[in-house]
Structure 1
């Protein structure tokens, strides 16, 4: 059954969110008893399988693919329910949010066999997009895939490097963006391949972050043999596949905006600050978070009425990035000298907040999009 926007459940939330709330109330206590507040990969995998057992791992997927067919308004309400219980991030979040939708849109029957395994975390998918010389300029990628062999046994030979691959050390499969026609303009001649990470010729190395964690990897490809059946979408048509994939990622900014507002409204009342300048700074963070949340709510309402967010997603993403980074700085200042201690949560929050300006599209790219597409300013 497709849950329609506007169906109401309890406490002003939709039917889907009410059902999720009931499910969370039944499973979260046992999960916390076993895993506590642990954020390890194993704990995140256990959580994802709990969600999958209840049909909540990917509620926006179509019903035939294992989801609930929820539209964006219901999905954001469900995200709010997960935030309410401080749910961990699923282990295979890129597979659920990005790769799975791409398979639903562009995959053939064989490729879609991965969908139930993605839901349960039996396959952990990464995205092989960024490169050392092509991060924000994604179309400038140089990893090559040469099509060799005759029609009956054709396949690709991949050579190149990817960097900042999320979950790259834990991943079992990779959605890999490659250049298959080097003579074509840079936004053309790109293809998407679905590659097992244990393929011969793939080497991955962990990247240690400023927080001390290694959530990313750099991945090297040396004469990696990939069958022709691994091509997702049309040959040389990978840019369209990629934009659709990133579109799913960036639609999540509505949930990010609401989450930031909830976080600040929870944190600020507990702060005890006497310095008037610092109090004013905290007030600015509160106002920024409220404004970002209101922008998200406005875009959500437009979607609920059948509209499209358009440039709103880029505006919200830019606001969320800036406010998140500044919030990290403010909370660190509130701690004073204690904030310099490595084990202080404010120190970890500050270090992690630095990534908000590049996650799901760098701030510079968002500004360019707004300047060109909204303000009509010339390029360059």
Structure 2
């Protein structure tokens, strides 16, 4: 019997993909120093520990989150690949069984393989969430210099007032502090606005991807149980023969129905629709109305260009930081990290500690 491991040989775009075009392939799927293989759990722990070791203080916590999410994506990618291999092995094992078991395990292998491919697609959409969160980290890194400059001027004023209370430089520094506080105020406002915008966008990507993924998994599970009904599990006595299996057309029809259901699925037809309780709905609407009434504030967006044009150069892009130059290029980071085997992680950290101590 011809065995197949995918639901369809040529894949036309599904209704969901037409409505919401798929994103580019995830960054975890290409550019790996060791190919598709990974160091494993020790590598994940090493990357997580070193993620926040460099760069501006403001961005360290989010840097660690971004790196942890990349570990999650790599794990999901591995699960998807291994699920496809499991599907193939299931079909290979069933080939030597009775006709009904052989046919059903072949078709079950098709469904399990489809689950693996859905995992692969989910990783790409999950990367949209991670990249959006990463953009918040970059904004945080850009705001750090304005905070540092304001703090530096404040410290200089305090030091002069302690050592030279009558120094004329105090007046100059206080004027600089006023300017630094104004520029920092704009930077902080932009950070606050962008953080909220990007946070909502990022988790919208994640929850939409989760919803589609889980709905399609539920579809596959439902049709998989229909396939199981084709197996005759009535006990037989020794020497008794079972009725001849005649479910080949039925199993093909079930697979075809499953394919059609997956192809035609769109968010509007989702079976699970979250519903708020009356109390939750009232509280949410009340808060939305209150926020709308208080939303008439000062628009600071027009001040951003003037801040960037200042000769003082206080607004520094994330990629321009001396300690943060390579942070946008995750693949270069990954290559450097993967060159250090887990057994040498302690040695690498020791060298880093020694360097920091020397600079101090």
Is the TM-score greater than 0.5? Answer: no
Between 1 and 2, higher relative CO (CA 8 Å, sep ≥ 6) is seen in 2
TM-score (norm 2): 0.25
Would you tell me which structure has more strand in proportion to its own residues?
1
Would you tell me which structure has more helix in proportion to its own residues?
2
TM-score (norm 1): 0.24
